[in-house]
Amino acid sequence: MQIRGANALVCGAGGFIGGHLVNRLFAEGAASVRAVDVKPFDEWYQQNPAAQSQVLDLQEKEACLEATEGIDAVFQLAADMGGMGFIENNKALCMLSVLTNTHMLMAARKNQVKRFFYSSSACVYNGDKQTNPEVVALKEEDAYPALPEDGYGWEKLFSERMCRHFHEDYGLETRVARFHNVYGPLGTWTGGREKAPAAICRKVLEAKASGKHEIEIWGDGHQTRSFMYIDDCTKGVVDIYQSDILEPINLGSSELVTINQLVDLAEELAGVKLKRIYNLDAPKGVNGRNSDNTKILHYLGWEPSIKLRDGLARTMTWIEQQMLTGVTTTK
């Protein structure tokens, strides 16, 4: 099913990825986009004036029924989540997102939605396969036997299974992408829910501005990750949605870096060199995680077009603008 001409719904549209996705769907020719989030409008990261914007609590079944009325295409991104510091300390809150996913699937079925996209996470992958910084890139089948990130990862894996069974039992067309560390402008950069690229950009800029040339790094800095720029993410979402891929599939960059290398890049972009203080007691997640993009490259010819250095430069420029204009809290 094509986006062009469709009536689309973005759940979590007031968030980072959701806000960018609304813009992408209009660019792809959607007939209409309904943008829904639980946050008040003044707390949305961005709003597209062409969208039908609504404030609804999608943990409630009736709200999901209202949101899906007259909708062809659902993009379910709504969830309580954040960076590693947030998900390690809010496991129950992350698990409660299962209410949103369950009620959205039920509402999509009742209102005869044509296709349902669900944003899963690389946190579903078996932790035993992520103990070494020199990690072998994770293939889709590495989610089983199941040993996901406690709390957040378990909820994501369960919701993947819900999508599968709603397709098998009720015929609802579902698509699932496993996001790997999405970053970019107009995202969370302070307040505790930010991901590593934004947190490091902020810390480097703060250290430079204050003259106190040091930075705290969570863990020993040898942890490895890959980071996908937001524009690559939203293109991948649309491509997967329009595809015939029934199983969950990776959506991420395979450009693996250590956290120390990420700091190196941020320092270079900011023109500063900092003393590094390693907090070994802070949440740091798995030792190594990377995306194996063999399947998505084979099926869709998709691969990230924006290198980490370029994406990080755009992100740092935006964060610096926020700091200079006196923005001190996240949405």
Contact 75, 21 (CB under 8 A): yes
Cα–Cα dist 83/196, whole Å: 7
- Map 25-69 to HEC letters: HHHCCCCEEEEEECCCHHHCCCCCCCCEEEECCCCCHHHHHHHHC
Cα–Cα dist 289/178, whole Å: 13
List 115's β-bridge partners, or say none: 73, 173
- How far lies 237's CA from each of 95, 193, 199, 206, in Å? 23, 22, 25, 34
The count of residues in the chain is: 331
> Which long-range contacts link 298-302 to residues 24+ away (Cβ below 8 Å)?
299/243, 299/245, 299/249, 300/236, 300/239, 300/240, 300/243, 300/245, 302/235, 302/236, 302/239
**Any idea what DSSP says for residue 143?**
G
* Catalytic residue from among 118, 125, 152, 229: 152
**Any idea what DSSP says for residue 128?**
G
Closest CA to 322 of 187, 182, 181: 187
Contact 80, 93 (CB under 8 A): yes
Give yes or no: 183 in active site: no
What is the three-class DSSP state of 242? coil
Cα–Cα dist 107/67, whole Å: 9
Residue showing tokens 């703060």: 206
- The set of catalytic residues is 152
